[in-house]
Structure 1
Amino acid sequence: MKRLVLSAVSKYGTLIAMALLIVIFTFSVPNWAFISPNNLLNIVNQSALTAIIASGLTIVLVVGEFDLSVGYAASLAGVLVTGLMVNQGLAMPLAIIVVLLIGGTAGAANGLLVTKAKVNAVVATLGIGTILVGLTYGYSAGSPIVLLPPEFVQLTLGRFLGIQNPIWIMLIVLAALWVLLNRTPMGQRIQAVGANAEAAKLAGIRVDRSKISAFVIAGVCAALTGILLASLLGSGTISAADGYLMDSFAAVFLGSATLRNGEFHILGTLIGVLVVNVGFNGLSMMGTATFWQYIFKGGILVLAVALSTIARRYARA
């Protein structure tokens, strides 16, 4: 009996938690407003940016490393993309490409420190993240960058087939990373390195290259999130995306306890993001004080790691 319960928690704990949250909020929010089509679509839209940054983080965790710089990279990207358009006069497509390249460069710096300099991933990415914070303040002089081109704002406010653009962008990114991770040689190498780096090395896989590639992907996803957030806010704002770090970690660890025994995967990350945002949305509609949202965020992160640990323990058993 205990084994059956452990098996259910390891694979379906996150889905059960989301179902319970939906039931609670359905009956707690007046007039069935929580489960209205508009609100459900709004939850998915609110999840889009977190899902993009969390999907990049998922690749790094799959390869067996950590990245604590993604939130800071996203904040820098938001300030840079707006500054390049407003202050340097770059066209929107060119500004976006430049910022995505800078995000990838930050990821590469993380990867090189971890693989070549043998710096612990937590220390390396926290150090790079702090440098990115300094660059953000230095470039913006501590002030938001506004007066953005209308077409940039429409990047997130626009709709296609009645669905908000961020949802479409999220689906494209998640689909691309799922294919990369599960249907390409590069993805297979990343998974092999994460499973056993020494065995992968003996099998002829370039371990360092796989890890650097994972960090680059995370950096690009973080930069894309920062760009979209700047479009959504209508300004390049310092520290705007810093909070995405905890949200993305909570989502990825929740996702690892979904459908698989503690393994990080893209579909699980999406489900984890939805769980987090169902909670935020429901608490907001219930009119709860802001401090409860922080309590929920911290609690969901602890729960996520606990569920992931249980899942891995069951897998080893």
Structure 2
Amino acid sequence: MTARSDADLDTASSRGPLDWKRLGLMFLSRYGTIFGLVMMVLIFSINAPDTFFSRANFLNILSQASLTAIIAAGLTYTLVVGEFDLSIGYVASFVGLIVVGFMSYQGMPIWLAIACSLAIGVGLGLVNGTLVTKVRINAVIATLGLGTILTGVGFTYSAFPIATGIPRAFTNISLGRVLFGIPNPVFFMLGVLIVLWIVLNKTDIGQKMQAVGSNIEAARLSGIRVDRIKMFAFATAGFCSALTGTLLSSLLGSGTLGTADGYLLDAFAAVFLGSATLREGEFHIVGTLVGVLILAVGFNGLAILGAPTHFQPIFKGGILILAVGMSTLARRYAASN
């Protein structure tokens, strides 16, 4: 705990039994998600010890969580600066289609197809940033509009899934296991999370991002180029979305428009769950990872216990409501101190 946390606990304890509610809210706002994750692991392990509680299954959970974590990490940056990006799933689907198309239709080598696709993702993020900061369109409208446009452009490029002319080396990017039998996407996830955590917490631009998200007017008066900071956040989200779409197409061995659209809800649920982890309603990378793991463990455990498939959207929607509720409570608690 931090010194502030200890002081809060001491103060609350000295006030008597009426402050148990405050203590409970303080615990919920900082450690509720971690406690929930541990409880989920324990419950599933007890009910399915031979299948859930195994190295192979834990690697499977990490593999399933990896792509969600990458796209959610990019979304975290836009939320840190106080904006929304509803195009991330559309961008991932679009890039997942064209990266395969570049190899199959245009005959590009793997490295060039991937490089061009990631650059397109960054470019789409910059388009979002420009619409929001320069044209002054509401972020929800701008990003949702761009995502809808990408759907139409994707169908124009290829109305059918692209599953031919894909080099085996491309599919091995996601299907391979280079070290200790750990799926490659897990290493991509760790690399992205580490880099984004360092940028957000240990660099000047990261401090400026947090300043913009905390108080945009104060940040502007202090000389921070607010528009540039927001565009950087949107560009990062675009890159992470493009990387997610590329890895997903590599995993599936084909390019199909719409395959990554579902990551939008997963990413928002994970990021809002993460904002109620360790900090008082702040968006941060470590919290996002915890939120992603909660989703992955929940989906995996329900599948192992034989829950019907339609339970997954129920669980996902419930988690999103819970995540926003916990984040709101955490922010309310932080504002009252």
TM-score normalised to the size of structure 2?
Answer: 0.92
The answer to whether residue 3 in structure 2 is matched with residue 9 in structure 1 is: no
> Is 158-167 or 240-249 further displaced after alignment?
158-167
d(CA) in 2 for partners of 1:142, 1:3: 56
1:65 — aligned with what? Answer: 83
Tell me, in whole angstroms, the C-alpha distance in 2 between the residues paired with 1:187 and 1:251: 21
Aligned to 2:292: 273
Deviations 1:75-117 (A, max 9, x none): 0010010000011011111111100111011111111111111
How far 1:140 sits from its partner (Å)?
1.2
Secondary structure of the 1:169 match is: helix
Aligned to 2:7: none
Deviation at 1:145, TM superposition (A): 3.6
> Among 34, 57, 80, which residue is 2:98 paired with?
80
Deviation of 1:139 after TM superposition, in Å, equals: 0.9
Whether the aligned pair in 1 keeps the contact of 2:103 and 2:165 (CA below 8 Å) is no
Show CA shifts across 1:202-244 (max 9, x none): 0000000100110000000000000000000010011000000
CA RMSD of aligned residues (A): 0.9
Report the AA paired with residue 263 of structure 2: Y
1:32, CA displacement in angstroms? Answer: 3.0
Aligned residue for 2:310, secondary structure, equals: helix
Runs of 4+ in 1 over 6 A off after TM superposition: none
TM-score (norm 1): 0.98
Q: Distance in 1 between matches of 2:231 and 2:267?
A: 20
Deviations 1:41-81 (A, max 9, x none): 11011100000000000000000000000000000010010
Bigger radius of gyration among the two? 2
Unaligned runs of 5+ in 1: none
Range moving further from structure 2, 17-26 or 79-88:
17-26
The answer to whether structure 1 residue 164 and structure 2 residue 197 are counterparts is: no
Distance 2:167 2:119 in 1: 21
Q: Tell me if the contact between 1:144 and 1:238 (Cα under 8 Å) persists in the aligned partners.
A: no
Whether 1:229 and 2:248 are equivalent positions in the alignment is yes
Indicate whether 1:177 and 2:208 are aligned: no
- Percent identity over the alignment? 58
Q: In structure 2, which of residues 108, 124, 133 is the aligned counterpart of residue 106 of structure 1?
A: 124
1:139 aligns with 2:148: no
1:146–1:236 CA contact under 8 A, matched in 2: no
For 1:170 and 1:137, the matched residues in 2 are separated by 29
Q: Secondary structure at the match of 1:35?
A: coil
The reply to whether residue 41 of structure 1 matches residue 59 of structure 2 is yes
AA at the equivalent of 2:255: G
1:283 pairs with 2:302: yes
Q: 172, 189, 212: which is aligned to 1:193?
A: 212
Instruction: Give the number of aligned pairs.
Output: 316
Mapped pair 1:208 → 2:224 = no
Question: Could you give the per-residue CA deviations for residues 250-286 of structure 1, whole angstroms, max 9, x where no partner exists?
Answer: 0000001001001000010011000000000001111
Task: Point out where structure 2 has 5 or more consecutive residues left out of the alignment.
Answer: 1-19
Q: CA deviation at 1:28?
A: 2.2
**Which amino acid in the other structure matches residue 32 of structure 1?**
D
